[in-house]
Structure 1
Amino acid sequence: MIINCGPLSDFTQARYVIYLSTGKRLVLFRLPSIDPSGSKPNEAQGWSYYAMEAECPHAGGPMADSQIDIEDSGYVASCPWHAYDFNVETGESSVGIKACTYPIDVREGTVLLSFPVEGGEHVELAKIEPVSEKVKLKHAIPSNKSSVPVQQAEPGMAHYLDDNATLCDWAVHILNTANPENKIELTTHLFRIFTEREASDSPMDIGRGTVPAPDQPPREKMFTVSPGAMPRTGKGGTLKSRIAMLHALANIELWAIDLAIDICVRFAAFQTEKTSQELPRAYFHDWLKVASDEAKHFSLLRTRIEEMGSHFGALPVHHTLWLSAQETAHDIRARISIIALVHEARGLDVNPMTIEKFRLNGDAPSVEALEVIHHDEITHVTTGHRWLTWICNEEETDPVQVFRSNVSKHFRGPIRGPFNEEARLQAGMDKRYYDPSSAVAAS
C-alpha cells in the first residue's frame, strides 16, 4: 500500500524516523542525488529519498545513526554498533545479510512510501520525527572562519584555525578552549570538516606526534569541588532537583568532549606492539564522531537547564572523569578500558533509571533529551570496544583480559551492578567484561 508521508517541503534534514500504526519503525534518508538528472521516482530538486528498516538486521542497531558513504555509485549505510553495511536502495550487504528497504516515490510535491501489507491489513502513518543531528549553538557561526586568524578573533568568539591546521592542532586548540560554547562549536566544526575532507583529494593531515596534549583542559567560571563535596541532587521530585541532575550530567558531557578529543591527540603516534601498526584514519573519525555527539549532548542539557530557569555554571561541579584520564594518560589500552568501557558503559546502566525519574515527574522535554543521549552512548561504548579489540587483534592479546587487567590497575574497587545487559551487549560487551562470576573464566 502507499502511505503519504507529507509534502516534500517538510523534509529538510538528512534523516527522519517514520513510525507506523503497527509499531514498525523505518528510517527515511534525504541524500544529495548522485545522478543530478532527477530521472528516478525517488529524486526531486537535487535530492534522493530512501527508506529502510530502522533496526539493523544483525543485532538491532539504530540505522538512523548510521554512517553514510558512497560505494559503487550508490549510498551505503553502516550500522553504528558493528559497522554492518547496507545499500540504502537494495538492502544488500557485503556481509551477506540483507536489510528491508521500501520504495519512495516523490510525486507532485509529496513523499510517498510503498509499504507491503498482507491479508487486507491497514497500516497508517503514526508520526515522523527528524533525527536529532545538530548541536544547539547559542551564537551564529561566522561564514568565513578560515580568514579570521586566532589572534584577531573577537573577544568571546570561537577561534578558528586555518586550512593548514592538522587534526592534532585542532584537538589541542579545542582542549585549551575554556568557554564551553566555543568548545562545542569548534568540536562540531572539526568533525564536519574532517569528514568532508576524508571524501576529497586533500584529507586532513593527522599531525601524529607533532603537538602535545595539555595536562588538563581549563574551565571558565566554574566552581569545582571534590566529588564528596557535591550537593545531593535528589530524586527529581522538584524542579530544583531536576535542574541539579541535568547540571551534573551536563558537566559529564563537557568532560566527555575533552576525553574524546584527547584520545585523538594524546595517542596519535601510537603503534601496536610486534606489528608496529599506526592507528588508521577510521580511528580518528570514530572518536571525533563521539566528541561531536558529546557536544550535542551538552548543548541539549544546557538548553534544557536554561528553559527551566537556571544556567550551566550555577552549581558546583567536579572533574572525576579527568582524574581517570590522567590515570590512563600513559596507555591507550587503559584509556579505552576505563573511560569507554567502564565510565561510558556505566552510563548505559543508569540512564534508563534517570530517564524514568524525569518521566514519572512529567518532564517530557528532559526525557526527550536524555533518550537522545542514551541512544548515542551505546555507539560510544561500541567505539571503545571496537578499537580495544582492533589493538588486541594486532597484538595477539585477549581484549577481555586486557580490559580486566587495566580495571584492576586503574579503577578503584569492583565494577558494580545493576547492569543494563541488553545495552552492553548491543555495544559488544558480553558478561565476560563486567560480571564478577565471569572473571575466573576470563582469566
Structure 2
Amino acid sequence: MSNNLFDLSLQCLQESDLERKLQQLNQLLDLWTQDALDFSARGPIERIPDPGRPAKPDLVSPKALPRRGIGTKEGHAALMHSIAHIEFNAINLALDAVYRFQEMPQQYYGDWLGVAGEESYHFQMIREHLYHLGYEYGDFPAHDGLWMTTYETDHDPLVRMALVPRTLEARGLDVTPAMIQKLRAIGDKRGVEILKILLRDEIGHVEVGSRWFRYLCAQRDANPFTQFTALVKEYFHGDLRGPFNYEARQQAGFSAQEIAWLKTL
C-alpha cells in the first residue's frame, strides 16, 4: 500500500462509504503523526466534479430546500442535519486542499489534515446528536453550493484560500451565534455545546486559510487586500452581506482593512 500523502488523500476524498471514509482519514492522520508519509508529487492532478459521498442525502438547489420552523421536532432535526452536511463537505474540502496543491510547504499539509480531522470530529458529534433526535444523516435533502465553489477554484491555491475558507467557511462564523440562540431557546443544551465547539474550531480553520492566503500573496508580490476583494467579486455567487461576526473574523486573520471593507457591504 502506498504511503504517499497525495495518493491517500485522493483515495479518501473519493471514498463514498461513510464509515470507510472516516476510517481512511484516521489512518492518514496516524501516518502524519508517525512521520510516515511520502510527499512526492503525483501527476496528473485530477479535477473532481463530484467527491465521494453517500447516496443520501439527495442534493437539491438551495431554493428547493423546504423551510421548516425550528420549533417542530422535524425542523430542529433538519437544522442539525444541514450543519452535519456542511461538516461532511468540509472533510472533502480539506482533503482536496491537500491533494490538489502539491507544491506547498509541508506545514500546509499538516494544517489541512488537522482541519480534516476536526471536521470529521464535528460531523460525528452532530451525527450522534441527530441520532438522539430520531434521525440519521441522509434523512433530509441538502444542497451542494460548497463543492461548486471548490471545483471552480481548483486551478490555484491562492483563489481557493480566498474563496473557500475565507469566504464560504467564514460565513459559519457569522451565522453560528444566531443558531446557538435558537437552540438555546428550544432547550437543546447538547446542540448549544456542539455549536460552541464548532465556532471555536472554525475560527482556527478560517485562520489557516488566512495564513496560507497571505503566504501565497507574499510569494507573488500581491497586495492581500486588493487580491481578496477582487477574487470575491470574481468568484463569489450571490451577495456577500452581513451581519458579520467581526470579532471572530479578526481572530481568524482578517485584517483591519478587510473588516472595514466588510462594514461597507
Work out whether the TM-score is over 0.5: yes
Equivalent-residue separation in structure 2 for 1:437 and 1:260 (angstroms): 25
State whether residues 208 and 265 of structure 1, in contact with CA within 8 Å, keep that contact through their aligned partners in structure 2.
no
Q: CA, structure 1 residues 437+281, in 2 after alignment: closer, same or farther (shift >3 Å)?
A: closer
1:350 to 175, 179, 185: 175
Deviation at 1:438, TM superposition (A): 6.9
Aligned residue in 2 for 1:225: 60
Counterpart code for 1:393: A
| Cα deviation code 1:154-188 (max 9, x no counterpart) | xxxxxxxx3x3201011110111112222222223
Aligned residue in 2 for 1:178: 16
Equivalent-residue separation in structure 1 for 2:101 and 2:49 (angstroms): 14
Aligned residue in 2 for 1:306: 131
Equivalent-residue separation in structure 2 for 1:176 and 1:352 (angstroms): 33
2:192 to 347, 361, 367: 367
1:209 to 42, 45, 62: 42
Aligned residue in 2 for 1:264: 98
1:389 to 191, 204, 214: 214
Which is higher, the Rg of structure 1 or of structure 2? 1
Aligned residue in 2 for 1:24: none
Counterpart code for 1:182: R
Aligned residue in 2 for 1:428: 253
Counterpart code for 1:344: E
Higher RCO (C-alpha under 8 Å, 6+ residues apart): 2
Equivalent-residue separation in structure 2 for 1:211 and 1:183 (angstroms): 23
Q: TM-score, normalised by structure 1?
A: 0.57
CA RMSD of aligned residues (A): 1.8
Larger fraction in strand = 1
| Cα deviation code 1:45-101 (max 9, x no counterpart) | xxxxxxxxxxxxxxxxxxxxxxxxxxxxxxxxxxxxxxxxxxxxxxxxxxxxxxxxx
Report the secondary structure of 2:31's partner residue. Answer: helix
Aligned residue in 1 for 2:29: 191
Equivalent-residue separation in structure 1 for 2:211 and 2:261 (angstroms): 22
State whether residues 191 and 285 of structure 1, in contact with CA within 8 Å, keep that contact through their aligned partners in structure 2.
no
Deviation at 1:384, TM superposition (A): 0.2
Deviation at 1:366, TM superposition (A): 1.1
Matching of residues 45-84 of structure 1 within 5 Å: none
Answering whether residue 79 of structure 2 is matched by residue 245 of structure 1, we say: yes
Equivalent-residue separation in structure 1 for 2:192 and 2:98 (angstroms): 31
Matching of residues 22-171 of structure 1 within 5 Å: 162=1, 164-171=2-9
Deviation at 1:297, TM superposition (A): 0.8
Q: 5+ residue gaps in structure 2?
A: none
Aligned residue in 1 for 2:201: 376
Deviation at 1:352, TM superposition (A): 0.9
Equivalent-residue separation in structure 2 for 1:435 and 1:224 (angstroms): 36
Deviation at 1:330, TM superposition (A): 1.3
Counterpart code for 1:313: G
| Cα deviation code 1:164-219 (max 9, x no counterpart) | 3201011110111112222222223312321221xxxxx41123233534332132
Equivalent-residue separation in structure 1 for 2:247 and 2:263 (angstroms): 17
